[in-house]
Structure 1
Amino acid sequence: MTEPVRIAMWSGPRNISTAMMRSFGSRIDTAVSDEPLYAAYLAATGLDHPMRHEVLASQSQDWRAVVAALLGPSPEDKPVWYQKHMTHHMLDEFGRDWIARMRNAFLIRDPRAVLASYVRKRDDVTLADIGVIQQRELFEREADRLGAAPPVIEGSDVLANPAHYLTRLCNALDIPYTDDMLSWAPGRRPTDGVWAPAWYNAVEESTGFGPPPAVSQPDLPDDLRRIADAALPHYHVLAAHRLR
């Protein structure tokens, strides 16, 4: 059996990560997986996220079992397997050697915009919740392994010119680009996480990538601005390598 191309897209929350999953899921050659480590993360941290009990019941809570599945046959034996991962789900105690088996890419967004969106879904937020430090750690680990920066893509760039940046991303991942990635049918998918009702209302109404947000750097209250100030240096490390 031919090994699938396993793509791990590492994103923080409140980016266009679900729209990107829709985009790749529109390809006839590609299977998608939605945040496979979410239950393991919630079980290990005890955090109270929306639909926590449903998430815990829907996935394995053992990160080792999750990784074993991610390294196994792809769903429906598709030749490409796109895995949407949240960087904050990668706790220190979760192993990382398996990541070398993936073609890794990094989806970034200005932390100020992330925080302004995140607090609409959860009242409490910490620096760890938005995954920027974890994203930098994963990026630098992969860059050291490869001897070069892995692909980094800015969500607002994709929204501004989807065909251009998806072409660049596919080239960097060594897979062909297809215009099928530009549009999709509205609604929920069987591949969506059980948490979709709490988080995916906008993408479920979409049929493609929307316009970039009118305000990329929103004003924040003092508590969120302190988190943003701590996150920005890590974001800028990745942003320096983003696809142009």
Structure 2
Amino acid sequence: MHSNLIFLWGTPRSMSTAFLRMMLERGDHEVFHEPFSSIVVQGRTAVGDYTATSHDELLKLLEERAGDHPVFVKETTEYDYLTTGGDRIPEVGRHTFIIRDPRRVIPSHYAMNPDMACGEIGYGHQVEMARRVRETTGVRPYVVEAEELLTDAPGAVERYCRHLGIPFLESSLSWQPGDQQVWSRTSQWHRDAAGSSHFIRAERTYESTVDNNRFLYDCYWHHRPDYHVLRKWARSHAVSAA
């Protein structure tokens, strides 16, 4: 079913904010940055002139916004929204997912938040959301691999747009660096996106990795099966498009 409301679900540190920056550059979608997690953290989130204080209220406001123009919502999956008032999420709009190798995600997340809990890395919540979407719609949701944005951004974005039935705008693949108001609540997490002008790998080394830190090692093996579930789905889209 066609809908003007598009969701992109990704773990933290999955390049989802860079993807949102590309959607901002398009200029043809109203863009929301992590409104569900804003409700979890702050107890509220702004949608136009209104304020939502629950996931269901947020969904209703997003549906209204998408009634007359396209809306894009990027959200991270460190929290479980489905069992905290968001059980209707899979029924609303069209849901897509972005994944990134947990060997890169986990050290990056830990460097930003050394007090993180293993579950906050987010692959478990992400795959559960994807499974619920599949159960609701009867089809596997579309999955983007972040690594493909680094090796073939035009191809990866074109395939994403084709799947959703929206125009592919090659001009949106580059932009002016700078912070964006839409992500101001969590701007400290988005320095790489703010400093970028296109999809590019941030060449960073981390003191703690999955190879030298037992906590990160255990987290990696905990989340690896869920990552590979969605990676298999991503590869199945690539095969079907070939």
**2: distance between equivalents of 1:231 and 1:4?**
31
**2: distance between equivalents of 1:191 and 1:7?**
17
* Contact preservation (8 Å) 1:108, 1:239: yes
**Cα deviation, residue 236, structure 1:** 0.6
Q: Is residue 68 from structure 1 mapped to residue 68 from structure 2 by the alignment?
A: no
Q: Give the aligned partner of residue 191 of structure 1.
A: 182
* Contact preservation (8 Å) 2:161, 2:167: yes
Q: Give the aligned partner of residue 4 of structure 2.
A: 5
Q: Is residue 141 from structure 1 mapped to residue 141 from structure 2 by the alignment?
A: no
SS for the counterpart of 1:209 is: coil
Q: Deviations over 1:183-242 (max 9, x none)?
A: 11111222224221x211111111111148699x96341111101101001111110011
Q: Give the aligned partner of residue 225 of structure 1.
A: 217
Q: Which amino acid in 1 is paired with 2:140?
A: A
Q: Is residue 151 from structure 1 mapped to residue 145 from structure 2 by the alignment?
A: no
Q: Give the aligned partner of residue 38 of structure 2.
A: 39
**Cα deviation, residue 43, structure 1:** 5.2
Q: Which amino acid in 2 is paired with 1:62?
A: S
Q: Give the aligned partner of residue 190 of structure 2.
A: 200
Q: Deviations over 1:155-192 (max 9, x none)?
A: 11111110000011111112121112201111122222
Q: Which amino acid in 2 is paired with 1:239?
A: R
* Contact preservation (8 Å) 2:34, 2:73: yes
**1: distance between equivalents of 2:214 and 2:183?**
35
TM-score normalised by structure 2 residue count? 0.84
Q: Give the aligned partner of residue 103 of structure 1.
A: 94
Please list every run of 5 or more consecutive structure 2 residues that lacks an aligned counterpart in the other structure: none
Q: Give the aligned partner of residue 88 of structure 1.
A: 78
Q: Which amino acid in 2 is paired with 1:69?
A: L
SS for the counterpart of 1:96 is: coil
* Contact preservation (8 Å) 2:210, 2:217: no
**Cα deviation, residue 144, structure 1:** 2.0
SS for the counterpart of 2:13 is: coil
Q: Deviations over 1:52-85 (max 9, x none)?
A: xxxx68774432332222222249x5x3211001
TM-score normalised by structure 1 residue count? 0.84
* Contact preservation (8 Å) 2:192, 2:202: no
| Cα distance change on mapping 1:90 and 1:69 into 2, 3 Å | farther
* Contact preservation (8 Å) 1:133, 1:234: yes
Please list every run of 5 or more consecutive structure 1 residues that lacks an aligned counterpart in the other structure: 45-55
Whose relative contact order is higher, 1 or 2, with alpha carbons under 8 Å and at least 6 apart? 1
Count how many residue pairs are aligned between Structure 1 and Structure 2: 227
SS for the counterpart of 1:186 is: coil
**2: distance between equivalents of 1:157 and 1:83?**
21
Larger fraction in helix: 2
**Cα deviation, residue 98, structure 1:** 3.5
Cα RMSD (Å) of the superposition?
A: 2.5
SS for the counterpart of 1:10 is: strand
Question: Mean Cα displacement is larger for which, 167-176 or 60-69?
Answer: 60-69
Q: Give the aligned partner of residue 241 of structure 1.
A: 233
**2: distance between equivalents of 1:151 and 1:212?**
25
**Post-superposition, which runs of at least 4 consecutive aligned residues in structure 1 deviate over 3 A?**
56-61, 211-215
* Contact preservation (8 Å) 2:3, 2:94: no
